[in-house]
Amino acid sequence: MKTTKIIGREYEIQQLTTFLSSDKAEFLVVYGRRRVGKTFLIKQFFNQKFTFYFSGAENASRQEQLFNFATALNEYSGKQHPLVDSWQKAFVQLKEYLQNVKTKGKKVIFIDEMPWLDNAKSGFLSAFEYFWNTYASAEKDIFLVVCGSSTSWIVNKIFKNRGGLHNRVTRQISLQPFTLAETEQFLKAKKIKMSRLQIAECYMIMGGIPYYLEQLEKQYSLEQNIDNLFFKKNGILRDEFSRIYHSLFKSPEKYMQIIEILSQKRKGLLREEIVKLSKIPDGGGLTTILEELEQCGFISINNNFSTPKINKLFQLTDFYSLFYIHFIKNRNISDSKFWSNTINTPLHNSWTGFAFELLCLKHIEQIRRKLGIGGVITYTFSWKSKKEENDNVQIDLIIDRADNVINICEMKFSRKEFVITKEYDKELQNKIWTFAEETHTKKALHTTLLTTYGVKRNAYWNNIQSEVGLDDLFL
């Protein structure tokens, strides 16, 4: 990244500072979606001053990875180490080097993109386990940091490890995309001027991913930037979709297929619906795919209010994937100004409705603060009527509160004040009545509208209990 200052990430910085001051060996795992800024955070926090730093290389052989490891070790130690043919021998060299390092504080060892090192029959993971268990874990001055974009690998091979790494991780940071507020800070640091509605639309395309935001240029409008990045022939983000999934999953086709299916259903799909549409057998393979997509941050699994343990809804929540599938995939686009020419068309308006709902769902904490329930225990759900005659009755966000109130949330994108019409008021009241009848809840039901520019005061405005505006999502 070009930006050298850490924007946002206050909580993560506080965590790193605390971890670094401990009086025992630390094994920290930093994980998160590709391009979210894991490496940047660690490098900037430590000002790139490591006792040892090494990164795995994508699609490299074991011998190539070992050569890169030896090169890094030689650079940090100032000595020439012989090239070895196994990871066991490589970690012996690292141990010998660390034993000779004299420092007052922690010895920070940073191994980046660890999943790429774990090739078939590479022997990396077993050698790493042995290094930590027999040496590093007993050294109070060792601070080991590992990163990886393949969250599913991190979860399955480290957190759920049943061998030598079982329960060995001492700290973890799940790095999430920027919030709207952090995105605003980032853009200001880059001297990019946007209104909050434009920032929201930018977020609805890029999802608060720092690498994507870094590509924006201040001399262009948002529309021009999107055209340049996505719709010009060599736009840097035009083919990002394929790169993301191929870099994370060994057999990405089925993962991409499910993402495409979910992109067409803004309300999400039940598992049996995914099976029917994808033709993927309903078994352990599908479970693994869905779990890994959730672990990597591409989908969410939403509990049903009435039956939280069954009938879960799977929903696409990755903004970039949604944008790519709606506007780029399977389109032979020769218009380098496609995005500028698509604004306010039915195609664009359909996408904004879907993406704005996701934007709100990504900012639940901000919604809670606006509603004044930050200190109240809450649970969030979605809900769909089980009755055939009410097949279209669905609530995308329910906030179930411990103070005997349920907020029924509706999310509406508009470029001006949202107007509750007679027809929409009738639809809303029917939705609430149906929910109350089918769930038999005894709690008070509060209607909450989440909009961009607020709700126009008219005769029907009095039928809602609260509203949340776009500015509130920046809190």
String of DSSP letters for 13-57: HHHHHHHHT-SS-EEEEEE-STTSSHHHHHHHHTTT--SEEEE--
- The residue among 386, 401, 411 whose CA lies nearest residue 469 is 411
pLDDT at 308: 63
Topology alike, domains 10-174 and 241-326? no
Model confidence, pTM: 0.90
Cβ pair 76, 120 in contact under 8 A = no
Task: Using DSSP bridges, classify how beta strands 394-401 and 405-412 pair: parallel, antiparallel or unpaired.
Answer: antiparallel
**What is the share, in percent, of the chain residues with pLDDT greater than 70?**
98
**Encoding tokens for residue 61?**
């052989």
pLDDT at 29: 96
Cβ pair 148, 117 in contact under 8 A = no
**Encoding tokens for residue 423?**
């027809």
Q: How many CA atoms lie within 13 A of 245 on its CB side?
A: 20
pLDDT tens by residue, 72-116:
999 999 999 999 999 999 999 999 999 999 888 899 999 999 999
Q: Which amino acid is at 336?
A: S
Per the model's pLDDT, the better-predicted residue between 455 and 5 turns out to be 455
Q: Residue 189 and residue 3: Cα distance in Å, rounded?
A: 8
Per the model's pLDDT, the better-predicted residue between 2 and 179 turns out to be 179
Domain 10-174 class in CATH? alpha beta
Residue 251 Rama label (left phi>0; alpha psi -120 to 50; beta): beta
Domain boundaries, the chain: 10-174, 180-238+328-357, 241-326, 363-474
| pLDDT band, residue 149 (cuts 50/70/90) | confident
| Element holding 354 (H helix, E strand) | helix 346-361
Cα angle vertex 429, ends 427, 433, to 5°?
115
Is residue 2 over pLDDT 50?
A: no
pLDDT at 302: 83
Cβ pair 312, 268 in contact under 8 A = no
State the sign of the Cα–Cα–Cα–Cα dihedral 8, 10, 13, 19: negative
Q: Residue 383 and residue 24: Cα distance in Å, rounded?
A: 47
SS3 208: coil
Q: Residue 475 and residue 467: Cα distance in Å, rounded?
A: 15
Chain center to CA of 355: 15
**Encoding tokens for residue 292?**
């890994």
For the domain 363-474, what is the CATH code? Answer: 3.40.1350.10
Domain 241-326 class in CATH? mainly alpha
Task: Using DSSP bridges, classify how beta strands 405-412 and 444-451 pair: parallel, antiparallel or unpaired.
Answer: parallel
- The residue among 352, 353, 358, 371 whose CA lies nearest residue 447 is 371
Is residue 3 over pLDDT 50?
A: no
Task: Using DSSP bridges, classify how beta strands 107-112 and 142-148 pair: parallel, antiparallel or unpaired.
Answer: parallel
pLDDT tens by residue, 254-284:
999 999 999 998 888 989 999 999 999 999 8
| pLDDT band, residue 368 (cuts 50/70/90) | very high
Residues 424-442 have a mean pLDDT of 94
